[in-house]
Amino acid sequence: MSKKAIIIGAGIGGLSSALRLLHNGYEVEIYEKENSIGGRVNITETEDFTFDLTASILMMPDVYKELFSYVNKNYEDYLEFIEIDPIYRVFSDGNHFIDFNTSMSKLTKNLEAISKDDYLGYFKFISDVYEKYLIANKYFLEKSQDTPKDFFNLTTLSKAFKIHTLLPLMISSQIILKMKIFENTLPFNLCM
Ligand SMILES: Cc1cc2nc3c(=O)[nH]c(=O)nc-3n(C[C@H](O)[C@H](O)[C@H](O)COP(=O)(O)OP(=O)(O)OC[C@H]3O[C@@H](n4cnc5c(N)ncnc54)[C@H](O)[C@@H]3O)c2cc1C
């Protein structure tokens, strides 16, 4: 008789766990309290606009690709990742705005138009934050935190102190700072 797993919640976490469990021979039941699946990854629509309820930017497509390959499926048969250009537009003081794109050459032009110093500062920031992302990935994102000891130990705590970035030291333009603050309100904040 196959083992049975019951999952509460059909958000991305519940659905992903269900796929992995099914692949490992479990019988799976998912219970969802809302009328639709997806959890926080959802939208709300008015006549003129569509709003993301949470996730706006897919930062780590590889996580989704890995899930599909884990269950021997090709993600392209199920999902289409669409590159958006610009990813988003940040407004400041009514008429001023800056577009953010995945294309580094376009982004360079946009930032240079605001300030050459900040253009340099922005790329220093990207390099700094990428180094921190690698630390966060290794010690936090891809590591199970099953017991308090998994987090509250000397190695993890010392790494936690290393992932703080002092953005205002690298950038002075208010519009670029505002954009980064907007991004930092997103738990995941890079693009494909
Ligand atoms: C403001 C905001 C912005 C974000 N932006 C991004 C982004 O840009 N990019 C990105 O990748 N991620 C983003 N995230 C994170 C992403 O939305 C979450 O990490 C992800 O949706 C969490 O999925 P989950 O399955 O763990 O939880 P949830 O999506 O919360 O799913 C939980 C599910 O369980 C159901 N449930 C709860 N209790 C019960 C119960 N008792 N019985 C039955 N069902 C129950 C809920 O209805 C829900 O469907 C953002 C999150 C927030 C809050």
Q: Which protein residue has the closest C-alpha to ligand 1 atom 45?
A: 9
Residue with structure tokens 């008429």? 95
Which amino acids bring their CB within 6 angstroms of ligand 1? Answer: 8-14, 31-34, 39-41, 54-59, 186-188
Å from CA of 14 to ligand 1 middle: 10
Q: How confident is the model at residue 17 (pLDDT cuts 50, 70, 90)?
A: very high
Q: How confident is the model at residue 188 (pLDDT cuts 50, 70, 90)?
A: very low
Nearest-5° Cα angle at 124, 165 to 135: 50
Å from CA of 55 to ligand 1 middle: 9
SS3 category, 46:
coil
Q: How far apart are CA 14 and CA 11, in angstroms?
A: 5
Q: How confident is the model at residue 191 (pLDDT cuts 50, 70, 90)?
A: very low
What's the confidence (pLDDT) of residue 168?
Answer: 60
What's the confidence (pLDDT) of residue 51?
Answer: 87
Ligand 1 probe mutation, 12, 40, 43, most atoms within 8 A of CB:
40
Residue 176, Cβ neighbours under 10 Å: how many? 25
The two counts, helices (H) then strands (E), for the chain are 7, 6
Q: Supply the pTM of this predicted model.
A: 0.76
Q: How far apart are CA 122 and CA 177, in angstroms?
A: 10
Q: What are phi and psi of 170, to 5 degrees?
A: -105, -25
Please determine, for residue 27, whether its predicted confidence score (pLDDT) is greater than 90: yes
Å from CA of 92 to ligand 1 middle: 30
Q: Which protein residue has the closest C-alpha to ligand 1 atom 5?
A: 55
Give the ligand 1 atom nearest the CA of 16. Answer: 25
Q: How far apart are CA 131 and CA 138, in angstroms?
A: 11
Å from CA of 116 to ligand 1 middle: 39
Please determine, for residue 186, whether its predicted confidence score (pLDDT) is greater than 80: no
Q: How far apart are CA 128 and CA 148, in angstroms?
A: 29
Q: How far apart are CA 31 and CA 49, in angstroms?
A: 31
For the stretch 147-171, pLDDT in tens is 888 777 777 777 776 666 656 666 6
Å from CA of 114 to ligand 1 middle: 36
Question: What's the distance, Cα to Cα, between the start and end of the chain in Å?
Answer: 42
What's the confidence (pLDDT) of residue 189?
Answer: 36
What's the confidence (pLDDT) of residue 71?
Answer: 96
